[in-house]
Amino acid sequence: MPDERKKILEVHHLKQYFNVGKKDEVRAVDDVSFDIYEGETFGLVGESGSGKTTAGRSIIHLYEPTDGQIIFNGKDVSKLHTKAEMHEFRREIQMIFQDPYASLNPRMKVKDIVAEGIDIHGLAKDDADRTKQVEDLLETVGLNKDHSSRYPHEFSGGQRQRIGIARALAVEPKFIIADEPISALDVSIQAQVVNLMKELQEKQGLTYLFIAHDLSMVKYISDRIGVMHYGKILEIGPADEVYTHPLHAYTKSLISAVPVPDPEFERNRKQVTYDASREHDDKQRRMVEIAPGHFVRASEDEVEMYTKRAQEAGLVTDFPHS
Amino acid sequence: MENPENVIEVRNLQIDFHTYAGEVKAIRDVSFDLRKGETLAIVGESGSGKSVTTRSLMGLLAPNAVIKGGSIMFHDEDIIKKSEKDMQHIRGKDIAMIFQDPMTSLDPTMRIGLQIAEPLMKHKGLKKKEAVAQALEMLKLVGITNPEGRINDYPYQFSGGMRQRIVIAIALVCYPEVLIADEPTTALDVTIQAQILDLMKDLQNRIDTSIIFITHDLGVVAGMADRVAVMYAGKIVEYGTVDEIFFNPQHPYTWGLLNSMPTLDTEGGSLSAIPGTPPDLLDPPVGDAFAARSDYAMKIDTEQEPPFFKVSDTHYAATWLLHPDAPKVTPPAEIVRRQKKFAAMEKPEPPIKHVTKE
Ligand SMILES: Nc1ncnc2c1ncn2[C@@H]1O[C@H](COP(=O)(O)OP(=O)(O)O)[C@@H](O)[C@H]1O
Ligand SMILES: Nc1ncnc2c1ncn2[C@@H]1O[C@H](COP(=O)(O)OP(=O)(O)O)[C@@H](O)[C@H]1O
Ligand SMILES: [Mg+2]
Ligand SMILES: [Mg+2]
């Protein structure tokens, strides 16, 4: 069944290498492909160093890709030539960062931080309009206008993240890349921020690329999940399915490591370890659709094993893979 | 010591910080025991006082801290009354500590073998050669591959997870009676975290040390703790065995913490976040400090501080909800689910009474 939804982002065979040709060459992103549909949340998970941040930065075109293509709203990001096109692109995609403190200028008042994009893109008619917009944004993220003359250090971690979200929303983006936005927050505050992001998505039709290493929260906020390991995506599928019926051994190990707030479960925990060396044979691997919408990076001879696994999990009855 | 089973007894600890804005009342009457061989977890949001409490056990409080009252008994002596010189003999030998960021405990300019050997030379009077030989054994124990080849490496040559293993080796090399672990895995990836937690459990069995484990992650607590103390705004609000806290919690703050975590089967909808933020400890609220954020607050919560009510011999909670005159309330659905599980769990059998016929 072809998917009728509109693709807002297409990443085709993206490669982002650093120090190419040198001894210390890093293949931070190595042949990664995925699509993100309008209005959905795509969760990108993986351990630190797996290339998640680099993928996000490549998408907003902070780097010239080593190879591959990034299509945003039907346009190739590498081919945005005119200033106006670039300007529009920079407005439509915004980023939220892990450390809300490091990403907020400590010497700027909250109102000027939030209005940064409004100023750059000339989105306010006059001063009064700017103030009004900032106050509305603060209210949207659960802060109030009394906060606007304060400095970032006067806020808690969760509140700072709200300021970061208000700043991103100020330019009315379509697409937000949230790079570990809750990793530095307490569990109880994580839930506040996740709920806020979900609520904003429903109200404003936003699309998210949500980057994280905490699988339990990602599963909760995402429609689909991609699992990254050493620069490669190993599995992509519907969030619930990837979480409850992971097909790739690495995904299994990642999920088995998530601590569960249940002592009975923990007493019987079975840790699955993953041996990365199996990736280093000389076999060609590509993303194969094992169950509908559920892809695994596999060599030709692994396809049968994954299909069997998917059948046993009840994900496929007689789904013909290509 | 009140109880010979205890390694540490903290009573009515009260700590303030002098700041330009006034006195921060960081620890407000905290009491707890650490039993021999157990892992006691202290959980709570940032700023609740977990680190300050445990730093006071090490005599490592910031210069602007004032201990206003209380005692910390260790070996029948009050740590609070000890001089810095005395503490240097205890620290690293009897009580050791590991922190969230391994680099705060490692000397970047010193080979790791020597760093592990140092406490042995300092506290046990070992010669360098013997100490380094034991350091090598310790490196093996904490799972550093090729320990012979790496003993002369520097900290920067290791990954974050490996560095935390080295910190654990330093902390445990003198076989301390007490290990304090302050968010030791918070900065690590989940897979590395799982390995470090397994390592800590394994070493606890071998070395027979008692652990105070600090974290804000209830998932980690569930896997590590024998007993749990829940902290809020400078106080312990509930404590009990790990099963009692996770399956029969009584304080609305404990409910809120458990409820804000997605469980294995949380679907769509919205997560139950705890609204608002913890109170300002410059001017702590009267009564139950959690009242302002609680759906279950009653009038008395804003007037009078709740005492500890007994739930079982091992389980106490400071909430007016447990007062005999309090109205019956229904906890959040997730908590009801947990309490049902508790009711069905196997509990130690009550002693059998032999009835003899007349
Ligand atoms: N500008 C850069 N120059 C060289 N190496 C880099 C650069 N940025 C990232 N890397 C490397 O690329 C890999 C992926 O990093 P990153 O994308 O930050 O991972 P993640 O966000 O998943 O933790 C790491 O090995 C990292 O050290
Ligand atoms: N040196 C200090 N000066 C002033 N306040 C401090 C100092 N150290 C800690 N505090 C305050 O004491 C309280 C408890 O802090 P802490 O024990 O670090 O919390 P936790 O470890 O639970 O996150 C917080 O309100 C914190 O701001
Ligand atoms: Mg990153
Ligand atoms: Mg702390």
* Per-block mean pLDDT, blocks of 10 residues, chain A (322 long): 81 96 94 96 94 95 94 92 90 87 87 94 94 92 88 86 92 95 83 90 95 87 96 96 94 92 91 81 91 95 94 78 52
Atom of ligand 1 nearest to the CA of A213: 22
Atom of ligand 1 nearest to the CA of A50: 22
Collapsing DSSP states into helix, strand and coil, what is residue A128?
A: helix
Q: How confident is the model at residue A57, as a pLDDT?
A: 94
> Which residues have C-beta within 8 Å of that of residue B145, sequence separation ≥ 6?
none
B295 touches A at CB < 8 Å: no
Structural tokens at position A309? 């696994």
Q: How confident is the model at residue A9, as a pLDDT?
A: 98
User: Cβ A194–B272 below 8 Å, yes or no?
Assistant: no
Question: What DSSP element (H or E) covers A35?
Answer: strand A26-37
* DSSP-assigned letter for residue A315: S
Other Cβ atoms within 10 Å of B310 Cβ, number: 10
Domains of chain A: residue spans and CATH: 2-102+173-245 (3.40.50.300), 246-322 (no CATH)
What is the mean pLDDT, run by run of 10 residues, along chain B of 358 residues?
94 96 95 96 93 95 96 95 95 92 90 96 95 95 92 93 93 95 89 90 91 94 97 97 98 95 65 86 95 96 97 98 96 93 78 49
Q: Residue A321: what are its φ and ψ, rounded to 5°?
A: -85, 160
Other Cβ atoms within 10 Å of B343 Cβ, number: 10
Q: How confident is the model at residue B46, as a pLDDT?
A: 87
| Choice from B19, B20, B52, B53 to test ligand 2 binding pocket (greatest atom count within 8 A of CB) | B52
Taking the centre of ligand 1 as the mean of its atom positions, its distance from the CA of residue A54, in whole angstroms, is: 6
Taking the centre of ligand 3 as the mean of its atom positions, its distance from the CA of residue A179, in whole angstroms, is: 7
User: Cβ B271–A194 below 8 Å, yes or no?
Assistant: yes
Least CB–CB distance from A253: residue in B191, B198, B219: B191
Other Cβ atoms within 10 Å of A275 Cβ, number: 9
Residues of chain B found within 8 Å of residue A213, distances taken between Cβ atoms: 189-190
Residues of chain B found within 8 Å of residue A240, distances taken between Cβ atoms: 267
Going by C-alpha positions, the residue among B204, B195, B238 that lies closest to residue B218 is B238
* DSSP-assigned letter for residue B102: G
**Confidence (pTM):** 0.91
Choose, out of A188, A225, A243, the residue to mutate when testing the contact with B (most B CBs < 10 Å).
A188
Q: Give the residue ranges of DSSP H helices in chain A.
A: 52-59, 83-92, 110-114, 116-120, 127-140, 157-169, 187-204, 215-221, 239-244, 249-256, 263-267, 303-312
Structural tokens at position B187? 């900065």
Q: Domain B1-94+176-358 - what CATH class?
A: alpha beta
- E strands of chain B, at which residues? 6-19, 22-35, 39-43, 65-74, 77-78, 95-98, 178-182, 210-215, 227-232, 235-241, 309-312, 315-317
Q: Looking at the complex, report in whole angstroms how far the Cα of residue B107 sits from the nearest Cα belonging to chain A.
A: 24
Buried b (16+ CB within 10 A) or exposed e, B323-332: eeeeeeeebb
B190 touches A at CB < 8 Å: yes
User: Cβ A156–B262 below 8 Å, yes or no?
Assistant: no
User: Cβ B262–A216 below 8 Å, yes or no?
Assistant: yes
The structural domains of chain B, with segments of one domain joined by +, span 1-94+176-358, 102-175
A98: left (phi over 0), alpha (psi -120 to 50) or beta: alpha
